[in-house]
Structure 1
Amino acid sequence: MNNQKSTYLNIEIERELAQHPFEAFNAIYKIHKRKYIKKWILGILAFCIIVLFLPWTQNIRTKGKITTLRQEARPQQLNTIISGKIVKWYVKEGDMVQQGDTILQLGEVKSEYFDPQLLERTQQQIIAKKQSIDAYNEKAATATTQANALREGMQLKLASLDNKINQQQLKIVSDSMDVLAAINDLNIYKRQIEAAKIMLDSGVIALTEFEKRKANYQTALAKKTSAENKFLQSKQELLNLKIEKNSTVQDYTDKISKAEGDKFSALSQAASTQADVSKLENIYANYDIRNKLYYITAPQSGQITKAKKAGIDEVVKEGDMIVEIVPAIRNYAVEMFVSPTDIPLISKGQEVALIFDGFPAIVFSGWPQSSYGTFTGKVAAIENNINTNGNFRVLIAPDTTKRKWPAQLKLGGGAKCIALLKNVPVYYELWRTINGFPPEYYTAENNTDNYKK
């Protein structure tokens, strides 16, 4: 009975299979269909071979950040030149200021500047010193006049003495002639007395006649002596006049020297006082400039950030940072850092592809012309000194002939830099990469002169 039931079920199953055939077998085992796997393999292989011969742009990828080419366009610290205490703030963080706008007001903390009339008192000292200079100059002028008067008096006195000397020299000549005349008379009387003595001895003349001639001889001898004394006295007087002349020159020279000494002393005091005036004027100018430094102003237009001091009456020292100003000048550049092994491949004017943070981009590393969302720049400067991170700093300026950089860029923002090198086939790039060889050296198409232009 059981065997009959089993046979009956098998017959029913075969009948059902004959009426409704299953397709699983045909789907898995496609024995009766043609195969295209060889064509696919050959097609893929041909495509890979074609790709190997496509041009590939060698590149150096590195990170960078947004900066500026000009130093004055970068964020700068605003420092105080003098020490003081904060009296009033005129701005707050985030405010935009124009060049010359007041940032804050400082008060004085040093005792030597507490006097509210410091400038007026210093000006009074300057005026008093200048009046002293005028007095010293007048004293020097008076001494000059006195010295000139003494010179004129000396000339007159010397002229008078010269006249006296000339007169005395004439008198000496006259006295010398009187001496000669007295000597001649004495010789005549001497011969007469000698003749009278002979005649007296011969008895030709009387004794009274002899005595008379002897008296004449004595008189002539006295006249000779008197004439010689007068002649010597005249010579002595001439010597005295010469001594008086020398004494007059010496006396007047002393007086003139004293007057000139007073003059130069007055000029020296005037010069010293002038130095004091210059010193006081310097102090006055310093005080005036210091008063202006109580108000700290913005050196250029920009945004106020990073206020280091936050209160009223808070004391700041010389050189302390007050705030930081981010200039409004938009002269952006990108600084990228290149390793020493790649720096020989970078040259001035070389093209660099940039991807800025926050701006979507699709990048094909070896085909920059097929990339989307990238911006172009050119190498503007290469620093010759390595930084603390062991890399060289390279500045990239915008390429004005290509797509304009976004206006939304901010200083310090990040950027990915792709320095474009030489165009080579893909197979060569694969071979170079596998063997670890460096990229080909690249020379920028635009030379430096064209880039500057």
Structure 2
Amino acid sequence: MEPEFSAYRHVYGHQIPRHLRRWLLFLLFLCIVLLLLPWTQNIRARGTVTALRQEQRPQEINSIIAGRVEQWYVKEGDYVRRGDTIARLSEVKADYLDPALLTRTGEQISAKKAAIDYYGGKVSAAESQIGALGGARSAKLQQLTGKLLQLEAKLRADSMDVQSANNDWSIATAQYNRQRALHDSGLVSLTQLESRNAALQQALAKKTGAENRLLATRQEIGIVRIEFNAVQQEYLEKKAKAESDRLGSLSQIAGGQGEIAKLQNQYASYVIRNGMYAILAPQDGQVVKARASGIGEILKEGDMLVHIVPTKIDPAVELFVRPVDLPLVSVGQKVRFVFDGFPAIVFSGWPSASFGTFEGIVSAVESDVSANGTFRVLVREHRDYRPWPPELRIGTGANGIALLKNVPVWYELWRNINAFPPDYYKPSGQDKNSKK
């Protein structure tokens, strides 16, 4: 019997069909399916857009020499091409203020070269003098040698004359002694004895003359030999003096060549310095951040004049990864990006379902820690996936998501509940990319 009160029917509802069990079973089945779905582990890092190569990054344009700004040819924001003049400087150092510095330095070089030519002529004259001294010495020595040979021949002749005179004197002495004995015996007259005595005296005179000539010849030979040595000594002295003059001239030539090299070095430095007054753009780019301003401002050596941002760059992103995540990052690994100013819908665990993200490949992992306690990772563009937007500028912020291993959702939940780090994962093809 059905109750009469309608409130009873609304409270207990005996006639209403029950679908709660079906919904609970469906939700349980859905949770199990979700837990078994694949989930891509990842690590996140913040970074900025930069250039892949060093020469493509913003650079300072410095003044190589000290100078005063005389004229500006560009303003901030202008685009320049390589070799365009940005500014012109004037000299401020007293050593380079002379407007005829190059001319006077060239004149000094010419004067030094003329001096070297003069000393070269002096060296040639000294060598000629040494050769002439050698010829004179040879002639004089030949003359003395001939005279010495003549005197030696005369010495032999005088020796024979002395020997002949001695023989004559011995014979005359013997004859005089016999004549005297005969005179004492009264066999010969006094006249005959005096004749023998005169012959003896003549023989003695010849003997004495021959001996004197022999002594004179020997003395002349001694004098010639002394003169022979004197000629050699005189030649050695003259040769030494001429050689000293020659070496002195060579020394002056060497010194002059050193000074010429120094002057030529200065001349080349002056020429190069004259070309440094014009500050040129090293590459195509935009001029920004001018440090110097106005006309007449003094710049020191190495002072920055402006910044230049290259026009054509190969974009890359520098990420700063925590030390705990560094072992999970390797060269060749894929990284997804969300750039500031470019809207995107991101499902970190399902990268294929994300929209508006861009992909890159890890190009380098630095081994040195940065000042902020993180490690710098350089990521280049993955051209096969989706080109990066050409509107990117250096310094644009980027959120990086490094894709790791694919795991079930239940494992990722269990890992996060227990505060475990992501699984270490080495991407396929990493070795090939590293070798390349």
Which band: TM-score by shorter chain?
A: over 0.9
Residue equivalent to 2:137: 154
Residue equivalent to 2:291: 308
Distance 2:285 2:435 in 1: 28
TM superposition shift of 1:296: 0.6
Question: Is 1:64 matched with 2:72?
Answer: no
Counting matched residue pairs gives: 433
Residue equivalent to 1:9: none
Question: Is 1:124 matched with 2:107?
Answer: yes
Residue equivalent to 1:256: 239
The secondary structure found in structure 1 opposite 2:200 is helix
Distance 2:25 2:168 in 1: 170
TM superposition shift of 1:28: 6.8
The secondary structure found in structure 2 opposite 1:303 is strand
Question: Is 1:224 matched with 2:207?
Answer: yes
Distance 2:416 2:337 in 1: 23
Pick which of 111-120 and 390-399 moved more. 111-120
Distance 2:183 2:312 in 1: 145
Residue pair 1:52, 1:425 contacting (<8 A) in 2 also:
yes
Stretches of structure 1 that go unaligned for 5 or more consecutive residues are 1-17
Distance 1:157 1:29 in 2: 158
TM superposition shift of 1:129: 2.0
The secondary structure found in structure 1 opposite 2:392 is coil
TM superposition shift of 1:313: 0.9
Which residue of the other structure, out of 35, 40, 53, is the alignment partner of 2:36?
53
Pick which of 113-122 and 409-418 moved more. 113-122
The secondary structure found in structure 1 opposite 2:422 is coil
Pick which of 188-197 and 103-112 moved more. 188-197
Question: Is 1:139 matched with 2:122?
Answer: yes
Residue pair 1:345, 1:442 contacting (<8 A) in 2 also:
yes
TM superposition shift of 1:72: 0.5
Q: How does 1:278-357 map to 2 (within 5 A)?
A: 278-357=261-340
Q: TM-score, normalised by structure 2?
A: 0.93
Distance 1:449 1:219 in 2: 130
- Deviation string, structure 1 residues 59-117 (Cα, Å, up to 9, x no partner): 11111111112110000000001111111100000100000000001122223322222
- Deviation string, structure 1 residues 263-284 (Cα, Å, up to 9, x no partner): 2222222222222222222222
- Deviation string, structure 1 residues 100-146 (Cα, Å, up to 9, x no partner): 00000112222332222222222222222222222221222222222
Distance 2:431 2:283 in 1: 32
Residue equivalent to 2:254: 271
RMSD: 2.1
Distance 1:264 1:426 in 2: 95
The secondary structure found in structure 2 opposite 1:400 is coil
CA distance 1:28–1:258, change in 2 (3 Å): farther
2:215 maps to amino acid: L
TM superposition shift of 1:374: 1.4
TM superposition shift of 1:298: 0.4
Pick which of 202-211 and 107-116 moved more. 202-211
Distance 1:203 1:340 in 2: 156
- Deviation string, structure 1 residues 195-222 (Cα, Å, up to 9, x no partner): 3344344444334333333332332233
- Deviation string, structure 1 residues 381-410 (Cα, Å, up to 9, x no partner): 111111111111111111232211111111
CA distance 1:396–1:26, change in 2 (3 Å): farther
Residue equivalent to 1:406: 389
2:31 maps to amino acid: C
- Deviation string, structure 1 residues 30-50 (Cα, Å, up to 9, x no partner): 442112222222221122222
Q: TM-score, normalised by structure 1?
A: 0.90
Which residue of the other structure, out of 332, 337, 343, is the alignment partner of 1:360?
343
Residue equivalent to 1:113: 96
Q: How does 1:29-40 map to 2 (within 5 A)?
A: 30-40=13-23
Structure with higher Rg: it is 1
Residue equivalent to 2:423: 440
CA distance 1:138–1:424, change in 2 (3 Å): same
The secondary structure found in structure 1 opposite 2:245 is helix
Residue pair 2:285, 2:308 contacting (<8 A) in 1 also:
yes
Residue pair 1:147, 1:260 contacting (<8 A) in 2 also:
yes
Residue pair 1:383, 1:393 contacting (<8 A) in 2 also:
yes
Residue equivalent to 2:358: 375
Residue pair 2:332, 2:430 contacting (<8 A) in 1 also:
yes
Question: Is 1:42 matched with 2:17?
Answer: no
Residue pair 1:55, 1:423 contacting (<8 A) in 2 also:
yes
Distance 1:29 1:305 in 2: 79
CA distance 1:155–1:171, change in 2 (3 Å): same
1:244 maps to amino acid: E
Residue pair 2:332, 2:434 contacting (<8 A) in 1 also:
yes
CA distance 1:195–1:136, change in 2 (3 Å): same
Residue equivalent to 1:96: 79
Which residue of the other structure, out of 54, 73, 81, is the alignment partner of 2:56?
73
Residue equivalent to 1:6: none
Residue pair 1:348, 1:444 contacting (<8 A) in 2 also:
no
1:369 maps to amino acid: S
Distance 1:338 1:256 in 2: 84
CA distance 1:197–1:30, change in 2 (3 Å): farther
1:263 maps to amino acid: R
- Deviation string, structure 1 residues 298-344 (Cα, Å, up to 9, x no partner): 01110000001110111111111000000112211111111111111
The secondary structure found in structure 2 opposite 1:109 is coil
